Amino acid sequence: MLNPVKKMRTAKVARATKETSIDLELVLDGTGAAEISTGIGFFDHMLESFAKHGAFDLKIAARGDLHVDMHHTVEDVGICLGEAFSKALGDHKGIRRFGHAYIPMDETLSRAAVDFANRPYLIWRVNLVRPKLGEMDTELFKEFFQAFAMHSGACVHIENLYGENTHHIVESCYKALARATRTAVELDARTAGVAPSTKGVL
């Protein structure tokens, strides 16, 4: 595994269908090391950025039916990444649970807020006027974040407050999610071993 450290919260996820084959490894308490290969250049860049700014060690090897289109690969990577977070968090005891971040990139400002409460939801308020970034359909970014939210059990709100450059808008969304998630999954020394909920469980 990338950058092994004692008592790290880790997860491995494998998914094989007629459309995709994915192997993923995640270390929550990492340094941002990433080994990403999905066959989609811009998507790889976004996942590397997510790992770097979340300080997660992340390894993804994905093969998909790219001769059809990129939808299955992008969605299934989101599913696997969400499942990895769910597994690595376990019973969620001791985590901060909530996180938010504002990320500026030149003329662009985006915001993400998350709640890892096992009540998945996605709010996506991002208007992308260009249909593609490189070879990637921009409508697929919402599919990725939707899959991540549903399978991680997180309530995820992502908004682009303003911006013009589509690359900047999308990248700022990934970085905002990374920073918000980093805060939410960190262990809180003040509530160690306790679920952050009045219910007593999450």
- For the chain, which residues make up each domain, given as ranges? 10-191
pLDDT given at position 3: 45
Angle at 85 between CA 43 and CA 37, to 5 degrees: 30
Q: Can you give the pLDDT at residue 7? A: 65
Q: Which residues are CB-neighbours of 136 under 8 A, at least 6 positions away? A: 40, 42, 43, 70, 74
Residues paired with residue 98 on neighbouring β-strands, in sequence order: 115
pLDDT at 5: 40
Q: What is the pLDDT of residues 27-47, one digit of tens each?
A: 999 999 999 999 999 999 999
> What pLDDT was estimated at residue 200?
66
Superfamily grouping for domain 10-191: Imidazole glycerol phosphate dehydratase; domain 1 (3.30.230.40)
The rounded average pLDDT for each run of 10 residues, N- to C-terminus, in the chain (202 residues) is 61 97 98 98 97 98 96 98 97 95 98 97 97 94 98 98 98 98 94 74 71
Q: Containing H/E element for 21? A: strand 20-27
Q: State the Cα–Cα distance between residues 95 and 89, nearest whole angstrom.
A: 8
Q: Is the pTM of this model over 0.75?
A: yes
Spell out where the chain has E strands.
Answer: 10-16, 20-27, 34-37, 57-64, 98-105, 108-116, 121-125, 132-133, 136-137, 154-162
Ramachandran angles phi, psi of 131, nearest 5°: -75, -20
CA dist 65 and 84 (Å) reads 22
Residue 174: strand, helix, or coil: helix
Report whether 26 contacts 85 (CB < 8 A): yes
pLDDT attached to residue 120: 98
DSSP for residue 159: E
pLDDT of residue 191: 82
